[in-house]
């Protein structure tokens, strides 16, 4: 099975390549013919580039891990956000249909407005507040419109091999004795390890559709920071603050917990609790941080 991965230098892309290679190694054969691509080989916002690359390589599955993920920068760079997050997804969707490939597209909790009191299910109303969320939602719509065999997986609070909240907190703790973290935004920290596993399992099936894909359980950014410092035995004072006191260009969802309802229905919800996944991550990446 030929698997094309876009954005393979990003957090999720790297983990997917690792897991697919490990599967090949463990069964001592090339079950997955992996084609990792970066922006240099395949710029998803360039339709001609996407079309020629995909029609030439004819993958069986395309996993789109490429995105413009800097949410604050999206507010200033609206065109870039839409070019990558919306048109990029459209370009891949059109090309995937031409070669009859399945398309796994990754989306976000930011498609919701965050005012719910209950975890969002897949059919809840989308209403993004930010440029990032709006551009990602348009990407989802293009995928639904132009791909005939798609999986859209909405994830959140992702961490893996790359820049993320966990590394920011640990780096910050090296030079500071206290840190302010918001305690009124809730979500589910999600490990790329858990997400990549679900992607690999679902892409083998024909359970096409929209899925919520986050680790189980929920917490605030404050709770998450406390947990990271506790697990790393870092002595730092964590001060809870409110979102209104945290300067940000982006209106972030207050409550963006996602219910993996559809994954549970098809029996593929292998996500662990967020506390378990972060513990494993901090052990694994001890040297790198
Ligand atoms: N990180 C989170 O907390 C989070 C939360 C919810 C959903 N998600 C979604 O999860 C997915 C994976 O996120 P991630 O954290 O792995 O992102 P990431 O680490 O920022 O990686 C994104 C990758 O996309 C590449 N890219 C950007 N524009 C491109 C283009 N035009 N063509 C090809 N590649 C391009 C980037 O390359 P450069 O380095 O060259 O820019 C980068 O390697 C994304 O769809 C994201 O929207 C992430």
> Ligand 1 centre from 161 Cα, in Å?
12
Q: What is the pLDDT of residues 195-225, one digit of tens each?
A: 999 999 999 999 999 999 999 999 999 999 9
177 located within any domain = no
235 located within any domain = no
Angle at 11 between CA 185 and CA 87, to 5 degrees: 85
Q: What is the pLDDT of residues 151-172, one digit of tens each?
A: 999 999 999 999 999 999 999 9
Q: What is the pLDDT of residues 112-132, one digit of tens each?
A: 999 999 999 999 999 999 999
Q: Is the pLDDT of residue 289 over 80?
A: no
Q: Which residue has the tokens 């996993």?
A: 63
Q: Is the pLDDT of residue 53 over 80?
A: yes
Atom index in ligand 1 nearest the CA of residue 83 equals: 31
The domain of 266 spans 2-164+188-218+256-272
The reply to whether the predicted model has a pTM over 0.95 is: yes
Count of all residues that appear for the chain in the document: 289
Q: What is the CATH number of the domain that holds 42?
A: 3.40.50.720
33 located within any domain = yes
What's the mean pLDDT when you consider all of the chain?
97
Atom index in ligand 1 nearest the CA of residue 45 equals: 31
Write down the pLDDT at residue 187.
98
193 located within any domain = yes
Gap between the Cα atoms of 244 and 197, Å rounded: 36
Measured by CA distance, the residue closest to atom 2 of ligand 1 is: 158
Reported as a pLDDT band with limits 50, 70 and 90, residue 247 is confident
Catalytic residue among 110, 120, 132, 159: 132
Number of domain units in the chain: 1
> Is residue 208 among the annotated active site residues?
no
261 located within any domain = yes
40 located within any domain = yes
Write down the pLDDT at residue 251.
86
286 located within any domain = no
Q: Is the pLDDT of residue 286 over 80?
A: no
Which of 50, 65, 120, 132 is the pocket-test mutation for ligand 1 (most atoms within 8 Å of CB)? Answer: 65
Range in 92-106, 171-185, 241-255, 264-278 the model is least confident about: 241-255
Write down the pLDDT at residue 215.
98
> Ligand 1 centre from 84 Cα, in Å?
10
277 located within any domain = no
Give the DSSP letter string of the chain.
-EEEEESTTSHHHHHHHHHHHHHHHHHTS-SSEEEE--TTT--TT-HHHHHHHHHHH--SEEEE------HHHHHH-HHHHIIIIIIHHHHHHHHHHHTT-EEEEEEEGGGS-S--SSPBPTTSPP---SHHHHHHHHHHHHHHHH-SSEEEEEE-SEESSSS-HHHHHHHHHTT-SEEEEESS-EE--EEHHHHHHHHHHHHTS---EEEE---BS-EEHHHHHHHHHHHTT---EEEEE-GGGS--SS---SB--B--HHHHHTT---PPBHHHHHHHHHHHTTTT-
Share of the chain above pLDDT 90, in %: 94
């Amino acid at each position: 099975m030929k698997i094309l991965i876009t954005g393979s230098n990003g957090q999720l892309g790297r983990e997917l390549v690792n897991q697919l290679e490990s599967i090949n190694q463990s069964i001592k054969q090339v079950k997955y013919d992996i084609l990792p691509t970066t922006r240099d080989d395949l710029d998803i916002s360039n339709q001609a580039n996407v079309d020629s690359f995909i029609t030439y390589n004819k993958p069986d599955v395309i996993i789109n891990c490429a995105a413009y993920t800097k949410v604050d920068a999206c507010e200033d760079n609206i065109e870039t956000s839409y070019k990558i997050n919306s048109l990029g997804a459209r370009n891949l969707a059109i090309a995937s249909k031409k070669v009859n490939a399945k398309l796994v597209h990754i989306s976000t909790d930011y498609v919701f407005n965050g005012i719910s009191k209950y975890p969002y299910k897949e059919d809840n109303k989308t209403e993004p507040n930010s440029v990032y969320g709006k551009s990602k939602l348009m990407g989802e719509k293009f995928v639904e419109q132009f791909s005939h065999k798609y999986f859209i997986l909405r994830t959140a609070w992702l961490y893996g091999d790359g820049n993320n909240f966990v590394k920011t907190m640990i780096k910050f703790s090296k030079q500071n004795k206290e840190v302010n973290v918001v305690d009124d935004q809730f979500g589910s920290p999600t490990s790329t390890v858990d997400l990549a596993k679900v992607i690999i399992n679902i892409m083998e099936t024909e359970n096409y559709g929209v899925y919520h894909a986050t680790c189980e359980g929920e917490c605030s950014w404050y709770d998450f920071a406390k947990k990271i410092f506790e697990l790393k035995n870092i002595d730092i004072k964590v001060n809870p603050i409110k979102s209104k006191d945290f300067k940000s260009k982006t209106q972030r969802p207050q409550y963006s917990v996602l219910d993996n309802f559809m994954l549970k229905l098809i029996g593929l919800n292998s996500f662990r609790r967020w506390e378990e996944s972060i513990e494993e991550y901090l052990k694994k990446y001890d040297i790198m941080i």
